[in-house]
Amino acid sequence: MEPCDEPSMGGRALLGAADVSDEELTRIATRVAGVDPAGARVVELVVEPVDYAQPAITTAGLWWVRGSVESGGAAAPFSVFVKQIQSWARSPLFAFVPPELQEFAEAGVPWRTEYLIYRSDLADRLPDGLSMPRALHAAEIDDRSASLWLEAIDTEPCAWTGEDFREAAYLVGRLNASASAGALASIGEHPFRNFARTYVSGRVAGQIEPALRDDRLWEHPLLRETFGGDLRDDLRRALDAVPGYLDELDRLPLGAAHGDTCPNNLLRSPGRDGFVLIDFGFWSTQPLGFDLA
């Protein structure tokens, strides 16, 4: 993730509840800078909110924390990525959930998953070619939020090629089948062991299928003139096949799944082989090959 073009920079007050003590900040800074913590002190600090365009219901805030730490008479730079996660009951979007469904909806997105992942040893269990940021500090703020201070990852922003997708597919397939990573598959206590079936019974059944079955949609001039009836018939046949696909997934062995392996969450970083995995909010137990979708 890149900082915004015209960042609003400031001091630690911008971090709010995600801030740490002076002692913890110094410990983090010396660890990142690789300097002797004895007698060290942070001598300058800038906090910069991250402008991230995609809304995330369990993200309360994102910041870059940059500065210098003085040790042994010399100053060394450091940079840290800070993320505050929360129950999505605290998201403004939660107001659109009907009251009778709010308890179920909140339980369906276990916000603590990412916090628990960064408190675990998953980094040591990932297959070669996959890595994740070091957790420098991970602490609960209250019963519905936590702060994560993570290693800053240098990224190479570029469009993905076919080879990138092939390499990513191979690596996340290895992750799904890894017995070592699989030992942590249930760490987030996610209630769904098959996201595909949950997605179909929710969004597909409630929004997508009614629209695709409605002849009025296909009578719209833009669709009628552009696609004719072929696309309509193909999509409806695909909908008819969905129950069989779900039954097939139910018969597959289960393994660890990142849950959201898209290019936004698979970073290229100079000096690292493969990809750096981020955003573990949907880490869970899923059918093998789930992440390949």
pTM: 0.84
How far apart, in Å, do the first and last CA atoms of the chain sit? 23
Say which DSSP state 122 is in: G
Residue of 71, 64, 8, 63 whose CA lies nearest to 39: 71
In this structure, what are the phi and psi dihedrals at residue 150, rounded to the nearest 5 degrees? -120, 155
**For 94, which DSSP code?**
G
Q: What is the pLDDT of residues 145-197, one digit of tens each?
A: 999 999 999 998 889 999 999 999 999 999 999 999 999 999 987 766 778 88
Q: 276 Cβ partners below 8 Å, 6+ apart?
A: 130, 131, 132, 133, 153, 266, 267, 268, 269
Write down the pLDDT at residue 55.
72
Distance CA(28)–CA(137), nearest Å, equals 8
Read off the pLDDT of each residue in 4-22 and give the average, rounded to a whole number.
77
6: left (phi over 0), alpha (psi -120 to 50) or beta: beta
Strands of the sheet containing 59-71, edge to edge, are 41-49, 59-71, 74-86, 145-151, 135-142
* Percent of the chain clearing pLDDT 90 (strictly above): 68
The string of pLDDT tens digits covering residues 72-120 is 889 999 999 999 999 999 999 899 888 888 888 888 788 999 999 999 9
Reported as type and span, the H/E element at residue 150 is strand 145-151
Residue type, 253: P
Q: In the structure, what pLDDT confidence band is assigned to residue 4 with cuts at 50, 70 and 90? A: very low
